[in-house]
Structure 1
């Protein structure tokens, strides 16, 4: 399905249907002569939307780069950890950091004199490579490390407080392990054109608008500023003044007291309903539904849309047929419940060693999940398993390249050329004789010294060694062999799910898979389950983050060694800040974090949920999920997922006119459970925007698509996220007491904003 010439329209198999003159591998210079080109594949997008030009004279190694980068990394890392313990979860936006760094860089360029010693503070115009360096550093720092979640659960629920040294090294090893593995897979998951990383295209399109000279660049910049300002002002309405705009449902307004209407058509509040036919006017939720709808490829959008339709049908069928006693519990929820519908008290089934006691479980009874959450687990497992089969069927040649090094000749060559003085590596690379087939952006990067594989290998070895020591120093209860299995599982997952993420922009989390495996490997030990998830699921997440940011560097022509340096500094700084703030907040807000409801300022919802999942999978996997048990189909769904893509592949092989290659089975499977949590009123608006941009605008007005689609997407994301951040602190209680708009018809503060019945 996904080859070097992935088709984007149903009739693209016929050469005559291509709008591009000549070969589809046309270079940027040739393609620019045709303003009406229709972008058909990843290479077209990467060379038309983003500038391939490079100016080697631009210097990213400036004082200004490190001053802004370290400052914003500290800000982003601190803010991310504070948000982790807030009742309103907000993520620090990469687009927001990009805009702020650009503004600060311009200010330093404008107001700092350039004479004398001050020229080191202001060496000249703030350039794109400086900005890219800063963004990559901030991106690595502005995350709440999963290891702090483990440390928080240990302190809050197990009364275990690892020493500062062990905790810091736990953070370092778990954050950098994925960097080492992901870095070694750059040749497969980063350099090829087909590894597009659609999510970064708005950012790079914005960069081009900021830094290109000429009339056209100024025109694009005006469009960016106009859209940014317009959405910045508009977001005040759905976010604060007129929250009904979050989900406008005619059915809810017509039947405000009907429970069935609320479950199916409601969706403006968390865990309210499925949001069928609701219209959302809040870009924050439209863009966060499955990524910016203006950037995800059309065929991926179509597959997820099919999954959403199936999700609504399956959820309603499960609930109203009372499968798994679903009607005893809320329609949408993620907690564990007693059979009578009250919240399950997990502390009553653990002994003094914080291991699950079978006698106490017999007294309390086994917990229940809501039926819709079980479907969410099932569909995630289907999507995970289907990814392996799908990629092996459609992308076997691409994946085979990942293992070409496993032959005696290559290993002998490595041993012969190995130099333990890795810091003296010159970074020279063998440039292929024929560079025309290379990705044009990668071809430009070849002129710079590489961050060699030995650097990433050293990062992997050190992280692995430190992690092996730390799991014993922190009383994790995870044995060494469990740690090794977690890392090996992560390495295989990075190859498959990294390819899925790079091609489609959609990330399927592997948390349920590794929780299940850990549950059976380390039965009765919830804490071991948490550490297993940390060194497997988090390793995959960090690898994808590394590869995404390296793609930003490749598109921006930032030298590889600068990108490596930025990522390592940002990761280490962010980890230290995460740890310091976690301890401070737990010390001062412990009782609130342990309470069920929390306050409007602090909440322990995230460590509570992580701990609950560890109890269910780590302590009760055999009783809940094994054969003949209540939720046996959750693990069995992996077997179904493995065979799900095969019929579609067979049909396409013999009846190609049916275009089965246009449906991405892992995405369809995954989205069958996608409405199991959160605000769902944005689904209709999301697909309206996606089909408008990725089909109508791309095919009918290709020139406008090339010039403005990703730029406008960047402006919408940036303006929205800046306003959301301001409102979070100013009126929504992220920094103190909330100041909601007084109640009126468009702001139903006493219930659901769309006026559906509160269940």
Structure 2
């Protein structure tokens, strides 16, 4: 599985010192976890006196929460996105924590009858974990921000800031309340592993073990390496980010004959991007994460990408399926049948569909790529369910029974030292967020009260089974398609209600499992639950506020934002979100994927059945022919999810990312394993950090003051940076 490979390598520096022999484990089974992967990754001891709820933790945790929330939201709205993740925060906060331990005064202070010190001793592992957790649970930008941006820009319905803030906070925090309800089943039982937390645990243990031992071995220290690579990334990104943007999308094959429509569509960066070279880390890394994703998973992504992008899409487009030639080969936009852009104002009255106007104006059309990715998405949903049942069904049942019995391992017994968060804390939080959700949706007319209850009911119904799947298999089936479908039939014609329902149903479920995963990490690392509760809740509130404030600041200060003329703030994800609001909400699934008012794409719903069937023969073959090793690596959920980000992602993001994956995840891992184990993850984190810092400086020091790079071949005035102007045109060059 994915986590096994990561945990094995990332834990190596720690295991060299703390490795337990198999005989020792057998002799003291009761004093360790029954799960081998946990035994070799997580310490079976604890020091309750280790400081964690400190001024240093709160200062650095809130500081990084604010920085990461701003940076990730800022870049979320740009053409190529950058996301600062867990590893970056873990690496950067470590020297800052040690610095504060050196310079802060050690005297005791008394406040409200409680005595504390700003500097209780050396910077501890538990402080470090809490700092990382405060930022990690908010690394992804708040999903509800897109609703606010959507209303402001695309629907012209400006809501007060408080309405957007309450929408963001309730969708983010309600999931936290649900995490409290399921923690007994998904956190304390030993067999609820949460594989991704083992990767994080091994990273932090490795950092602190290497810091204690000055683990150099004659090689460059990790921190020095990180700083040098980050500096190089910072200096280099001035080229694709400002001076020479053409190198970020070199469509060299298209240059042979840029006036040829087919060649442009196949090789241009705005088309299928065959041969396009991206000398831009932000483009090559964002969707594939080539230095982090295991090679077997990247192979599945590659096969799925080729199957959809290079086989299905050209076949559908050039055979003119659904009149595809009237539209670009790759676009998230919506069209009329003649290829002109679909004007939503012609069919909507205050964000609600006028059926008579819709019939008169004509049915919505989309390019074949967009339609096929919906079908592949349908297949991926059912394939995930069937794959998990076939490959992990017995294991899930056994572990569910184990969870119900609440069998405790050494980690649960060690956690008994710390007072648990009372159930009424989570219960009160749920009551408050439910009341605020109802108030927000009713007062500002996001959706009816019953829709709030139904959306939360869907999230609550799925949270435990989906959580068990994720805790055991590291796979998380998404509920976005289910929620869009449900409300699309209950409230057809209501665009904002559709996306709001999807956000409450989908995001609350995701947030609940994100928080639960962090609770499991705290469980492994022996973080007092009440401190973890306050850290998660406080950081989530601050992150939601900053996400929304950043988005609104950009919306109101950047001209033509979320349009091609607003480059680099083209809001690729928000545009896709907008198209989904039209397809699923304003028009509704019955008029797009059904048989009502000229619906054309009903055939893509066969994806549900195809996805359910695909894993079966491969599962049977793997059982029947166990000597054929490659069969066990065929992972249909990953394979079918390969193109789920397109659009807004572009194909050349994938090809360049997968090439880097071949170099780092396959070649270097196999033939330069020592280097790979020591520096691979640091390289990814350093490159991310350098690009993020450079991108911010370019914006605030130059672009926000209307400064521009002089136009030249590498920075053309028409902003067709790949010099392939017909890549985004339809088959007739329009």
Scaled by the length of structure 2, the TM-score of the pair is 0.81
- What is the 5 A alignment of 1:500-579? 509-550=478-519, 553=522, 557-578=526-547
Structure 1 residue 505: Cα displacement: 7.0
How many Å apart are 1:355 and its aligned residue? 2.0
Q: Which position in structure 2 is the counterpart of 1:305?
A: 302
Q: CA deviation at 1:529?
A: 0.9
Residue 60 of structure 1: aligned partner = 52
Q: Deviations over 1:414-449 (max 9, x none)?
A: xxxxxxxxxxxxxxx9744xx5xxxxx888766654
Secondary structure in 1 aligned to 2:336?
A: coil
- Structure 1 Cα separation of the partners of residues 355 and 716 of structure 2: 46
CA deviation string 1:542-572 (max 9, x = no partner): 2343245445545655443332221100112
Question: Aligned equivalents of 2:716 and 2:210: distance in 1?
Answer: 41
Of the candidates 306, 319, 322, which is equivalent to residue 321 of structure 1?
319
**Other-structure match for 1:213:** 213
Conserved 8 A contact 2:455-2:501: yes
Higher mean C-alpha deviation, range 636-645 or range 332-341: 636-645
Moved more, 673-682 or 45-54: 45-54
Q: Which residue of 1 aligns with 2:9?
A: none
Superposition CA RMSD, Å:
4.3
**CA displacement at 1:391 relative to structure 2:** 0.8
Determine the structure 2 residue equivalent to 1:235.
237
Mapped pair 1:670 → 2:641: yes
SS of 2:651's partner is coil
CA apart distance, 1:325: 1.2
Deviation (angstroms), 1:664: 0.8
Maintained 8 Å contact 1:391/1:496: no
Which of 271, 287, 293 aligns to 1:289? It is: 287
- Aligned-residue offset at 1:146: 2.9
- Conserved? CA contact 1:197–1:502, under 8 Å: no
Match of 1:641 in 2: 611
Q: Give 2:265's aligned residue.
A: 263
Instruction: Report the Cα offset of residue 155 of structure 1.
Output: 5.5
User: Given the alignment of the two structures, is residue 73 of structure 1 paired with residue 65 of structure 2, yes or no?
Assistant: yes
> 1:381–1:513: 8 Å Cα contact kept in structure 2?
no
TM superposition shift of 1:361: 0.6
CA contact (8 A) 1:252 1:265 kept: yes
- Tell me the CA shift for residue 95 of structure 1: 4.6
- Whether the 8 Å CA contact 2:348–2:586 is kept in 1: the answer is no
Within 1, Cα distance between the matches of 2:338 and 2:199?
A: 44
Whole-angstrom distance in 2 between the partners of 1:689 and 1:561: 42
Summarize the Cα distance change of 1:652–1:738 in structure 2 as closer, same or farther, 3 Å threshold.
Answer: farther
SS of the counterpart of 1:396? helix
Matched residue, 2:196? 196
For 2:586, which of 597, 619, 640 is the aligned residue?
Answer: 619
For residue 691 of structure 2, what is the aligned residue in structure 1? 720
In the aligned structure 2, how far is the partner of 1:694 from the partner of 1:92? 21
Structure 1 SS opposite 2:641:
helix
Q: 1:88-127: CA deviations, max 9, x gaps?
A: 7655555554455445444434444435659933334333
Q: Is the 8 A contact 2:278 2:652 kept in 1?
A: yes
Residues 185 and 402, structure 1, Cα contact 8 Å, conserved in 2: no
**Does the aligned pair in 1 maintain the 2:396–2:469 contact within 8 Å?**
no
Deviates more, 1:506-515 or 1:342-351: 506-515
Choose which of 341, 347, 350 in structure 2 pairs with 1:349: 347
CA apart distance, 1:339: 1.8
Taking a change above 3 Å as real, the CA distance of residues 131 and 32 of structure 1, as seen in their structure-2 partners, is: farther
Q: Give structure 1 stretches of 5+ with no counterpart.
A: 9-23, 34-41, 411-428, 436-440
- Tell me the alpha carbon deviations over residues 585-611 of structure 1, each in whole angstroms, 9 at most, x when there is no partner: 77x569966x95664697787666534
Residue pair 2:82, 2:282 contacting (<8 A) in 1 also = no
Contact persistence 1:237–1:243 (CA under 8 A): yes
Structure 1 segment 123-138 matched on structure 2, within 5 A: 123-138=120-135
TM-score (norm 1): 0.78
Q: 1:382 aligns with which of 379, 383, 386?
A: 379
CA distance in 1 between counterparts of 2:19 and 2:366 reads 53
Structure 2 CA distance, aligned partners of 1:565 and 1:703?
40
Structure 2: gaps spanning 5 or more residues: 7-14, 25-33, 111-115, 728-734
Distance 1:259 1:80 in 2: 36
User: For the residues of structure 1 that align with 2:186 and 2:141, how far apart are their CA atoms?
Assistant: 25
Measure the CA separation in 1 of the matches of 2:388 and 2:374: 22
Give, in angstroms, the shift of residue 183 of structure 1: 4.6
Separation in 2 of the partners of 1:614 and 1:92?
28
Structure 1: distance between partners of 2:453 and 2:723: 51
Closer, same or farther: CA 31–711 of 1 in aligned 2, 3 Å = farther
Q: Write the distance in 1 (CA, Å) between the matches of 2:608 and 2:540.
A: 34
- For 1:226 and 1:548, the matched residues in 2 are separated by 33
Contact (CA 8 Å) 2:400, 2:468: kept in 1 or not? no
Distance 2:681 2:169 in 1: 35
Q: Secondary structure at the match of 1:333?
A: coil
Q: Which moved more, 1:84-93 or 1:305-314?
A: 84-93
Following superposition, the deviation at residue 489 of structure 1 comes to 2.8
Do residues 147 (structure 1) and 116 (structure 2) align?
no
Cα 1:296–1:125 shift into 2, 3 Å = same
Paired with 1:48 and 1:704, the residues of 2 have a C-alpha distance of: 21
Going from structure 1 to structure 2, the CA distance change for 1:161 and 1:729 (only over 3 Å counts) comes to closer
> Kindly tell me: are residues 670 and 633 of structure 1, through their superposed partners in 2, closer, same or farther at Cα, counting changes over 3 Å?
farther
Structure 1 partner of 2:679: 708
For 1:497 and 1:654, locate their aligned partners in 2 and report how far apart those are by CA, in whole Å. 29
Name the structure 1 match of 2:730. none
Query: Would the aligned equivalents of 2:238 and 2:694 in 1 still touch at CA under 8 Å?
Result: yes
3-state SS of paired residue (1:681): helix
Q: 1:652 to 1:581 in 2, by over 3 A?
A: closer
